[in-house]
């Protein structure tokens, strides 16, 4: 019973994150919302795994956690330098 | 035994509350950098409380170990992603809002 309440909370939070992703003016809002949606998806996955009594879902959640970070970093690197070829050493941006 | 259920009930409810607060902050905040602050709430506090609640339910088993791995993963990856996001946003020229524009202080 308790999992249903937690799942409902995560779903509402995910809906809010999707709305803020659609609304966000800059691309970085969308990347941030995408990252949050990924985290919420992992939480939802593990909660459903607990609800239906299948612990294998946690493995999927861990894998997705790894992928989520890589995806976010790739998107950020693309939007930071315009293409994937750059790396940080050659170009010290005056932050 | 009942104590474990009550404790995990409280933890899961608190986790759900903080996840909702974080997502609400993500929606309401005016600027990328303040949204990042709100999104951090979801990753750390909300997820940690929920995973702790699930850990109590799982007891001493492999599932708890996986949950612990997930928790450590969240705690390491969330700051990395947020830091990269902040640098990318700053480098791309997104200016943080430092003080309210005149006439907008009531918003």
Q: What are phi and psi of B69, to 5 degrees?
A: -60, -40
Q: Is the pLDDT of residue A89 over 60?
A: no
Structural domain span for residue A6: 2-82
Query: Which residues does chain B have within 8 Å of residue A42's beta carbon, measured at their own beta carbons?
Result: 47, 70
The answer to whether residue B79 is domain-embedded is yes
**Chain A: closest CA distance from residue B43 (Å):** 7
pLDDT digits (tens, 9 = 90+) for B24-47: 988 888 888 888 888 888 888 889
The answer to whether residue A92 is domain-embedded is no
The answer to whether residue B83 is domain-embedded is yes
A45 CB neighbour count, 10 Å cutoff: 20
Interface test with B, best of A9, A21, A26, A61 (most B CBs within 10 A): A9
C-beta of residue B36 within 8 angstroms of C-beta of residue B85 = yes
The answer to whether residue B98 is domain-embedded is no
Q: Distance of alpha carbon A27 from its chain centroid, rounded?
A: 14
Q: Is the dihedral of CA B76, B80, B83, B86 positive or negative?
A: negative
State the average pLDDT over residues B65-76: 90
Query: Over the range B41-75, which residues count as b (16 or more CB within 10 Å of their CB) and which as e?
Result: bbbbbbbbbbbbbbbbbbeeeebbebbeebbebbe
Structural domain span for residue B72: 2-91
The answer to whether residue A87 is domain-embedded is no
C-beta of residue A64 within 8 angstroms of C-beta of residue A45 = yes
Task: Assign B102 a pLDDT band (cuts: 50, 70, 90).
Answer: low
- B88: its two tokens: 């990318």
Q: How many domains does chain A divide into?
A: 1
Interface test with B, best of A17, A25, A32 (most B CBs within 10 A): A32
The answer to whether residue B106 is domain-embedded is no
The answer to whether residue A91 is domain-embedded is no
pLDDT digits (tens, 9 = 90+) for A24-55: 788 888 989 999 999 999 999 999 998 888 88
The answer to whether residue B66 is domain-embedded is yes
Cβ distance of B23 and A50 shorter than 8 Å: no
Please report how many Cα atoms fall inside a 13 Å half-sphere around the Cα of residue A70, on the Cβ side: 6
C-beta of residue B39 within 8 angstroms of C-beta of residue A35 = yes
Q: How many domains does chain B divide into?
A: 1
Cβ distance of B43 and A39 shorter than 8 Å: yes
**pLDDT given at position A64:** 93
Q: Is the dihedral of CA B71, B76, B82, B85 positive or negative?
A: negative
**pLDDT given at position B60:** 84
Query: Which residues does chain B have within 8 Å of residue A31's beta carbon, measured at their own beta carbons?
Result: 85, 88
ipTM comes to 0.84
A36 CB neighbour count, 10 Å cutoff: 32
The answer to whether residue A66 is domain-embedded is yes
- For the purposes of burial, counting CB atoms within 10 Å of the CB of A53, is it exposed (0-12), middle (13-18) or buried (19 or more)? exposed
Cβ distance of A5 and B13 shorter than 8 Å: yes
- The better pLDDT of the pair B68, B1 is held by B68
The answer to whether residue A48 is domain-embedded is yes
Query: Which residues does chain B have within 8 Å of residue A79's beta carbon, measured at their own beta carbons?
Result: 88, 92
* CA A3 – CA A19 distance, rounded (Å): 24
């Amino acid at each position: 019973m308790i999992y249903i309440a937690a799942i409902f909370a995560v779903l509402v939070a995910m809906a809010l994150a999707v709305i803020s992703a659609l609304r966000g003016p800059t691309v970085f809002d969308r990347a941030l919302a995408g990252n949050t949606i990924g985290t919420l998806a992992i939480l939802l996955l593990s909660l459903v795994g607990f609800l239906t009594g299948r612990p294998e879902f946690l493995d999927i959640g861990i894998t997705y956690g790894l992928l989520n970070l890589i995806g976010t970093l790739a998107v950020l690197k693309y939007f930071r330098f315009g293409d994937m070829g750059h790396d940080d050493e050659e170009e010290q941006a005056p932050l | 035994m009942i104590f474990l259920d009550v404790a995990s009930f409280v933890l899961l409810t608190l986790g759900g509350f903080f996840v909702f607060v974080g997502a609400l902050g993500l929606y309401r905040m005016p600027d990328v950098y303040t949204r990042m602050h709100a999104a951090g709430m979801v990753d750390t506090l909300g997820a940690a409380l929920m995973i702790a609640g699930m850990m109590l339910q799982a007891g001493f088993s492999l599932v708890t170990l996986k949950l612990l791995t997930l928790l450590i993963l969240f705690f390491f990856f969330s700051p990395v992603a947020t830091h990269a996001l902040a640098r990318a946003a700053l480098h791309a020229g997104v200016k943080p809002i430092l003080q309210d524009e005149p006439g907008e202080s009531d918003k």
